[in-house]
Amino acid sequence: MKIAISGAGVAGPSLAHWLHRSGHEPVLIERAPQFRTGGYVIDFWGVGYRIAQMMGIEAAIREAGYQVQSIRSVGPDDQVRASLGVESFRRAAGAGFISLPRGDLAATIYATIENDVETIFGDSITAIDEHPNGVSLSFTQATSRDFDLVIGADGLHSNVRRLTFGPESDVEHYLGCRVAACVVEGYQPRDDLVYVTYSEPGRSIGRFSLRGDRTLFLFVFRSRHAADPGDLEARKDLLRREFGDAGWECPHILAALDGVDDLYFDVVSQIRLGRWSRGRTALVGDAAACVSLLAGEGTGLAMTEAYVLAGELVCACGDYRRAFDAYETRLRHFVQAKQDAAQKYLPVFATQTRLGIWFRNLAMRAMNFRPLAELILTRSVRDDFELPAYPTMST
């Protein structure tokens, strides 16, 4: 089948990889003028990592990634309040645990299909017209084209979901936080392989040293308002207002924003839909069921959903309705459990009181006791999902 995929992040290229591998003709549609790299650093493990192994990209991911050694919580005077070794996470995650920029993972996946799958950059779908034999798609720039199916892999603010299911406000569950991330060159100090975080009530800022004398900053703050402030300068101004009176290195970090020309900014939200498909349109990744940045596993889930959807299309022998239903049946409970767990992590990222920050630091120190860490992390980190083996796809 000829299948249109909106979005060239992680979910879209992952789905294109498996569809192409199983004999379909996917076409990627990305509104950005070129492939986007970089982004905030993610921890990558679990079922997503196993799928990466099946795709043959494990070595490339490990080369692009970082073996983080510890997470460090500091006070305004830079004194270490708590430090947690990451080795416990690695043991609990089982086979494979690596940290890397989200965009670098996406680029590694895209490289597997770049020369085999058509990609339309700088365009987006404006209308989906379904008919008995397929769907006709209208675009902002290109002329209309016909496909057998259309898949929304275009993230939390999915355009395909809006066109098919209605307004985002009907399905978005805002968790009360906003997040921003950027990369700065030449920032000092550097703490290689250590994620350093500073918290005040309702807000936190973290930094992580990247190769090439670059530093990634991640801002998380509580907010009643979920709206994007607007252009690049408006986003910077908002961060200056939110963190302008904060201690530690915050004045130095905010000054470094002046030279930033790419600032990721978004809400911490989840998407909860009654169904992930309608007619000949289906959703994967954050478009279907965003678990939020707090879950720490959104990319792995997106890759899992892409693999399962492609595999069910193989098993259904062209019966897309049967495939869509089987895809959702296999994954819905697993994804919902991840969404429920993510909501419990909110106090870790944006603790509301100084007492809460003190308790969080105490918990970090306690987690260095190996038996306690293994008891807690084995339950929360390991994925309770058995990857199905599909004909023509599994290796």
Rg of the Cα trace of the chain? 21
For 53, half-sphere exposure in the C-beta direction (CA atoms, 13 angstrom radius) is 13
26-35, 116-125, 342-351: segment of lowest average pLDDT: 342-351
**Helix %, strand %, coil % of the chain (to 5):** 40, 25, 35
| β-sheet bridge partners, residue 220 | 179, 204
Per-residue pLDDT band at 292 (split at 50, 70, 90): confident
CA distance 61 to 100: 8
Q: How far apart are CA 354 and CA 201, in angstroms?
A: 6
Domain residue spans of the chain:
2-71+99-171+270-352, 178-268
Residue 316 confidence (pLDDT) above 70: yes
Give per-residue pLDDT as tens, 188-212. 999 999 999 999 999 999 999 999 9
**pLDDT for 45-61, tens place per residue?**
888 999 999 999 999 99
Closest CA to 1 of 163, 153, 150, 156: 150
Q: Does domain 2-71+99-171+270-352 have CATH number 3.50.50.60?
A: yes
| 189 upstream amide cis, omega within 30 of 0 | yes
Buried b (16+ CB within 10 A) or exposed e, 267-295: bbbbbebeebbeebbbbbbbbbbbbbbbb
| Reported pTM | 0.93
Residue 300 has pLDDT above 60, yes or no: yes
pLDDT of residue 381: 67
Instruction: Output the pLDDT for position 34.
Output: 87
Q: CATH topology for 178-268?
A: D-Amino Acid Oxidase; Chain A, domain 2 (3.30.9)
What does the pLDDT look like over 165-176, one tens digit per residue?
A: 999 989 999 999
